[in-house]
Amino acid sequence: MFNKKNILVTGGTGSFGSFLVQYLAENYQPNKIIIYSRDELKQYELQNKEFVKKNKKIFRFFIGDIRDKDRLNFAFKNNIDYVFHAAALKQVPAAEYNPFEAIKTNIIGSQNIIDAAIANNVKKTIALSTDKASSPINLYGATKLVSDKLFVAANNFKNNDSIFSVVRYGNVMGSRGSVIPHFLSKKDSNQLEITDTRMTRFNITLKEGVEFVIKCLSKSLGGEVFVPKIPSYKITDIAKAIAPKAKLKIIGIRPGEKIHEEMISSSEGMNTFEFKDYFIIFPQSQDISWGMKEFNKIHNGEKFQKKEYGFSYQSQNNKDFLSLDQIKNLIKKESYK
């Protein structure tokens, strides 16, 4: 799918973006990969990675912010075929304290990407969302929900063949700011801070996330929200796996934080189709141009079922929970420092 194609990745120097561009370079033969991000230090560090040096002819590094529509549009004027939108302000406390900054990046920036994709005839654009966009209680989740709505609705108003879709999933294991690197940094202190012992989270590795997003891009018709079936874990089990002898200090839930994660709300459930390894939340708009015949064709006859009203997908009710041994093995496998 990506052979001899031009690809642009926003947030291309982040945890997801940098892993994605490496995966694309090592598993496909793209003509060009544009890494679009605003941090010149991270770009410099990425340029010095061995996989970039090995494939330096295909990489282009654009310093730019998705808030800057002119700069973004300039980057898109490279005959772009596919866009992966991974740029966001995602730290919950920072968004609560700096609300309009999150709005400018996560909402206005997303609309800028949509506009640039349509103006430059991009074939497909897929946006990364978050569990926090489902029934949001914090500003970050609210801005990502608006972004999701923008990308779904973009399929109604486009004047060409551009396709827009969304992928929504939970915590990426070990990503910047997540609990595992934090616990690992504190494991020798004999005390770990826990916000709430009841807390559960969904879990996905970077590799799983990248492979799922690529799969969704290939299957997208426009307007879908893709949700992977992934395991959950208990926050107390993460603590036990990392520092079994450490005492737990309960510090209380932070502003805007949930005890449990939700990736499909009960309101979205009636528009949800379940496949073996993932769900698709159908667009509610009647203006989406494709029908079930096209849907069945692109999904190669996979079996699926429409969920009943009231269905939701939440971390505490998940059928698949990671055991202590599984958590230990994943941490070891992911080579966290």
Residues annotated as catalytic are: 132
What are the distances in angstroms from CA 143 to CA 136, 138, 154, 237, 290? 9, 9, 16, 31, 27
Q: Identify the burial level of 255 via C-beta atoms within 10 angstroms of its C-beta, where 0-12 means exposed, 13-18 middle and 19 or more buried.
A: exposed
Using DSSP bridges, classify how beta strands 313-314 and 262-264 pair: parallel, antiparallel or unpaired: antiparallel
Phi first, then psi, for residue 85 (nearest 5°) are -100, 100
Length of the chain in residues, anyone?
A: 337
Side chain identity, residue 96: E
Residue 10: strand, helix, or coil: strand
Largest pairwise CA distance in the chain: 61
For the record, the structure tokens of 238 come out as 């993460």
Q: Which tokens in the block code for residue 309?
A: 């009203």
- CA-nearest of 15, 77, 46 to 334 is 15
Instruction: Give the pairing of strands 124-128 and 163-167.
Output: parallel
The DSSP secondary-structure symbol of 83 reads E
Here the tokens at position 329 are 């093995």
Q: Which residues pair with 280 in a beta bridge?
A: 226, 273
**CA triple 46-22-54, angle to 5 deg:** 75
Q: Report residue 193 CA to chain centroid gap.
A: 27
